[in-house]
Structure 1
Amino acid sequence: MTKSLLCEMDRALTEFPLLEAPAYDVAPSDLLRAVLEVALKGSNDPLVLAVSGGRDSMALLHAMARWAPQRIATVATFDHGTGSYATDAASLVAAQARRLGLTVVRERARTTAVNEAGWRDARWSFLRRVARGFTARVVTAHTRDDQLETIVMRALRGSGARGLAALAAPSPVLRPWLGVSRAELARWVESEALLYLEDPMNASLRFLRGRVRHEWLPTFAQSAPGFAEAMLALGERAAAWRRDVERLLDGSGIAVHANGGRLTVPARFLEQTTDGGRAVLWPAICARVGVTLDANGTRAAVRFTMSQRRGAHITLAGGATIERRHDGRGDLFEVRRAASHVAMWPVYEGPSEALPPRFGRWRFRRLGVEPLAHDAWCIGLPTGTPVVVRPWTEGDRIRTAGAPAGRRVTRYFTESRVPVLDRPSWPVVVVAGEPVWIPGVCRGLAAPSRPGRPELIWYRCEREFD
């Protein structure tokens, strides 16, 4: 046990010496129904039930089907491809869900992960896709015991308050059983004779969670009565603290873009606090676009905050970025998830009559008439001209009136204040092997857009999410 966990345990036991697990003198069905009603109150979202085939998740499946069937969008079950148990469990879920009159989405992993983190990532990738498809929230069967194990595991790894909130942290995921113990669920499952499969990995000591569950928590319970309740109380305090941080962010002017992959936050919001405050706020800000900051990333973000140079950026672990920029709202920090590689962007080759309606985050719109004034967002292309539309690459040059011998596109980007992080996805229109148009930036000498030519087809290019 680490020294930090011993200190935290001592403090928690001192503050919560008499806490005991709640005792319910009610029938299991009455307890679970009441818990479920409380969990579902205040939200009318359709729900995707994440069901693995184990006892806790099968209890969730049957409880929801009995007491709130109208809320179920679908049942989602994931076969990790790790052997016969995984396949049998997914088959049991599918059969039971259909027997209850529910739809099922079942998927098998394309590649087999080898550790807990890999299994979790694959499962959650699947669940999020299903939830997006049904415009619904995911519901899991995590219990009070799962919360306790997660708190202890995170304390052992040196997590701060943000991590110690564990499964009780603010989240779009609904966890109705989080205040219910496995023993209480087991009572109901046995009384209803519900079918389930016991995952053999639950008894394994190979992974940390198994060792915490079967070795360390029983030892803590014997040597320090009240340990579990103290740790759960610690987790609830951390969760309350995280809710306070989220409420502060809600009033900060933070704006998440429609694609969910980037956000902006006013620079003054972060500049007006201390380094300690920034160390609290940056992980919460980044989490809103699915970016997890480790200790090194948090330190880098804190140092970067006071940079006054617009257009500067830092790259975090995993390829996410933070950039400082300026627009009509003032100075901003923009956080982006890992950007797509240039090779993943499309390349169009075809006639001028049919430029692609969409090119990555861009849209080409055909105009009915010639624009009245010079506009770098518009161009006229002669009918029948072969055209290539591709992303900008380092080394691209364009000939313009100011530089007839050619000049690097990078310089025009800088003059037009195009952020460095936007450039790899910026479209370039090429005719006869030569760049003729950088939308919104410049048109080249070779651009066939002279006025008065009736055979020209006029286009306007627009950024789709701006």
Structure 2
Amino acid sequence: MPSQPTLAFNRDHIHPGDRLCVAISGGADSVALLLAIHAANTAPRESLGVGLSAAHVHHGIRPDTESDADLAFVEDLCIQFDIPLHIHRADIPARASQARETLEEAARTVRYDFFRSLIASGHADTILTAHTLDDQAETVLLKLLRGAWTEGLAAIHPIIHINTPNQRPGKILRPLLQTRRTEIEAYLHALNQPWRDDSTNADTTYTRNRVRHELLPQLRTFNPSIDQTLANLAELAREEESRWQAELSRVLPQLLLPGKPVRGGGRSVSTAPGHSSLSIEIERLRPLDPALRRRILRAAARQLGSRLSFDETSRLLALCGFLTLPTVAARTGASLHLANGLRADRSPREIRLYREKQSANPE
């Protein structure tokens, strides 16, 4: 009797007794993940020993007939394998318009809010998404095109720990991050298992689709293994970022000062709502290497709710006197206006970063 086709997936963070919920769209990747988990969970030997359900979001982006057909396909699949299914309906275009987000951003927000609700309600403690190595490569390229730092190049993380509003802990796992789409489709073909193709995946008005259908095929002519190379870069960036975060946790408490100094000693810290500031002594930054200086300034800005671009970080370094830029004066009294209302002032000894609550525009 021929052996049953199998699909390898990462089991490192799956344990007996876990309540797993597979996010399923009806596409090849998520169908394969659901069937692979189900097969491993019903194996006569070495069963996963987990509770298994599925979750589907009806996005309302494509024509109703197509979205309804996807939902019907997922429902039939879950009935066939006796897998409980959680369904969420949303109007993504309306949400995107209201929140001034792209359709991709709004859809992601809705999906992950749904995942959190499943964990908060106790239906699951772990959500599995079917991101593949191909998805990882595409995401790294998108991050590069947008000028990401190393934390961005880490791209899709294999595990994310989340807390729900009721503080019920949970996690999101990506067990197929080392699996290629070609392997997934071969697995489904071997099972004679159909899947649904999302018509929007061919629409090159979406940047990701342009990367998938135009940029990556070009890059493969230079390096046939570019997908694996980009996935490797994500893993390296993730490890580098973890190392840096540990270092920042150690040094930031020694460097960041609240408020600003006052005559006679001590520091003045505003208690007004919406007004907060941090300062760093320039001489304490001077002996540090350039990479750590950049990290410290960006971490300080992030504590005030702002993410600095490469250019803004360079301007801050120039304000401190560590870089020379024609547009920035490294002198006492100089200041910078940065993104998201963040400001930086130079005093004789310190750089002060602060954000002030902006007054509402009169009606």
TM-score range, shorter chain: 0.5 to 0.7
- Residue equivalent to 1:103: 84
- DSSP-derived class of the 2:229 partner: helix
Instruction: Give me the whole-angstrom Cα distance separating, in 2, the residues matched to 1:221 and 1:283.
Output: 35
Aligned 1:25-424 pairs, distance under 5 A: 29-32=5-8, 35-38=9-12, 40=14, 45-68=18-41, 70-72=49-51, 74-82=53-61, 83=63, 84-112=65-93, 113=96, 115-134=103-122, 136-168=125-157, 171-172=160-161, 173-248=172-247, 276-277=291-292, 279-280=294-295, 293=307, 295=309, 299=313, 317=340
Contact 1:48 1:131 in 2 (8 A): no
Contact 1:50 1:141 in 2 (8 A): yes
Instruction: Give me the whole-angstrom Cα distance separating, in 2, the residues matched to 1:295 and 1:67.
Output: 45
- Alpha-carbon deviations, 1:364-397, whole Å to 9, x = none? xxxxxxxxxxxxxxxxxxxxxxxxxxxxxxxxxx
Instruction: Give me the whole-angstrom Cα distance separating, in 2, the residues matched to 1:72 and 1:285.
Output: 43
Instruction: Give me the whole-angstrom Cα distance separating, in 2, the residues matched to 1:96 and 1:128.
Output: 24
Identity of aligned residues (%): 25
- DSSP-derived class of the 1:178 partner: coil
The letter for the 1-side match of 2:105 is: A
Q: Which residues of structure 1 form unaligned runs of 5+?
A: 1-26, 255-265, 307-313, 322-419, 422-466
- Alpha-carbon deviations, 1:25-81, whole Å to 9, x = none? xx894452xx3434536x965333211111100111111122136434532110111
Instruction: Give me the whole-angstrom Cα distance separating, in 2, the residues matched to 1:315 and 1:132.
Output: 38
Instruction: Give me the whole-angstrom Cα distance separating, in 1, the residues matched to 2:6 and 2:114.
Output: 33
The letter for the 2-side match of 1:62 is: L
Residue 226 of structure 1, CA deviation:
3.8
The letter for the 1-side match of 2:53 is: T
Contact 1:77 1:105 in 2 (8 A): yes
Contact 1:28 1:187 in 2 (8 A): no
- DSSP-derived class of the 2:176 partner: helix
- DSSP-derived class of the 1:105 partner: strand
Aligned length, in residue pairs: 278
Residue 203 of structure 1, CA deviation:
1.8
Instruction: Give me the whole-angstrom Cα distance separating, in 2, the residues matched to 1:159 and 1:28.
Output: 43
**Larger RCO (CA under 8 A, 6+ residues apart):** 2
Instruction: Give me the whole-angstrom Cα distance separating, in 2, the residues matched to 1:201 and 1:161.
Output: 30
Contact 2:159 2:173 in 1 (8 A): no
- DSSP-derived class of the 2:160 partner: coil
Contact 1:73 1:136 in 2 (8 A): no
Instruction: Give me the whole-angstrom Cα distance separating, in 2, the residues matched to 1:91 and 1:298.
Output: 50
Instruction: Give me the whole-angstrom Cα distance separating, in 2, the residues matched to 1:251 and 1:101.
Output: 50
- TM-score for both structures, normalised by structure 2: 0.61
Contact 1:170 1:243 in 2 (8 A): no
Residue 152 of structure 1, CA deviation:
1.1
- TM-score for both structures, normalised by structure 1: 0.49
Instruction: Give me the whole-angstrom Cα distance separating, in 1, the residues matched to 2:231 and 2:4.
Output: 22
- CA RMSD between the two structures: 4.4
Residue 136 of structure 1, CA deviation:
1.5
Which structure shows the bigger proportion of residues in strand conformation?
1
Instruction: Give me the whole-angstrom Cα distance separating, in 2, the residues matched to 1:51 and 1:106.
Output: 10
- Alpha-carbon deviations, 1:189-218, whole Å to 9, x = none? 111122321111122222111111111111
